[in-house]
Amino acid sequence: MSETDSFIEEVTEEVRRDRLFALMRRYGWIAVLAVLLLVGGTAYREYTRAAEQAKAQAFGDAILAALESDEASDRVAALDQIEAPTEEGAAVLDMLIAAEDALAGNGAAAAERLNATATDGDLPEIYRQIASFKALTRPESTLSADERRVAFEAMAAPGAPLRLLAEEQLALLDIEAGDTDAALTRLNAILGDSELTAGLRRRASQLIVALGGEIEAS
C-alpha cells in the first residue's frame, strides 16, 4: 500500500469517527434513555413483585395469628379485622370467617356471607363456585332438594372444577329421595373417574357399602 493510499485510509477512518461521535452527541441521549427505561422497568417489576409477596405473607401471617384463639367467636372477631390485599384474598377470608361463624353457632351469618361471595360477579368463577358449594351444603340453606339438585347439576358439568364433589352431593340427594339405585350408579361412576381424590374415593366406597351395594371394578 502506497503512502497516499495509507493517508487516504486514515483520513476516511477519521471522518467515520467524527461522524460517529456527531451522531452519538446528537442521538446518544436516546440510547441512554432506553437503557434507563429498561433498568428502571426491571427494578420496578422486582419492587412490585417483592411488595406483593410481602403483602401476601403478611396476610397469611395475620390469618394464622387470628386462628390461634381458642374460641370460635374470638377467631371470627380477629379475622374480621384483617384487610385482604386482593379481591381473591377477601373471598378466601370471607369463607374462613363463615366457617368460624358456623363453629360459633352463627349458621345464618355463615350462610349469608357465603351467598354474598357466591354472587360477587367481580370474583373469578372458582371462588364463586366454592362459596356457592359451601352455602348449598350448609344445614341452614333454605333451598328445596330440587333447587339444590339444579345447582349441583350445574356444578357437575364436564370440566367444572367442583364436578366430582357436586356428583357426590347429587348422590346424597338421590339417597334423600329414596332412589338408592341412582345413588349407587352415581357413586360407582365417581369411583371410576380419573380425577378422583383419595378422600372422595373413601367416602364414596363407604357410602356404597352402607347402601348394601357392590363396588364395581373400574
* DSSP track, 108-129: HHHHHHHHHHHT-TTS-HHHHH
What SS3 state is found at 136? Answer: helix
**Which CA distances in Å does 40 have to 13, 27, 31, 63, 169?**
37, 20, 14, 34, 53
Same domain for 206 and 162, yes or no, is yes
| 142-163 average pLDDT score | 90
Same structural domain, 196 and 217: yes
Number of domains in the chain: 3
Identity at 49, one-letter amino acid code: R
Tell me: do 158 and 203 sit in the same domain: yes
pLDDT greater than 70 at residue 79? yes
Decide which of 80 and 44 is more confident.
Answer: 80
Query: Binning pLDDT at 50, 70 and 90, where does residue 188 land?
Result: very high
Among 142, 166, 195, which residue terminates a domain?
Answer: 142
- Residues 138, 74 share a domain: yes
Q: For residues 10 and 16, what is the distance between their CA atoms, to the nearest angstrom?
A: 10
Closest C-alpha to 218, from 193, 192, 195, 198: 192
- 39, 66, 93 - which closes a domain: 66
Query: How many other C-beta atoms are found inside a 10 Å radius of the C-beta of residue 190?
Result: 24
Local confidence band at 209 (pLDDT 50, 70, 90 cut-offs): very high
183: phi then psi, degrees, rounded to nearest 5:
-65, -45
Do 78 and 62 belong together in one domain?
no
Q: Domain span at residue 153?
A: 147-218
User: What's the rounded Cα separation, in Å, for the pair 77 and 185?
Assistant: 45
Report pLDDT digits (tens) over 116-145.
998 888 888 899 999 999 999 888 777 889
Both 8 and 28 in one domain: the answer is yes
Domain boundary, last residue among 127, 142, 157: 142
CA distances for 39 relative to 32, 33, 34, 46, 172, angstroms: 11, 10, 9, 11, 59
82 and 37 in a common domain: no
Report whether 111 contacts 75 (CB < 8 A).
no
173 and 160 part of one domain: yes
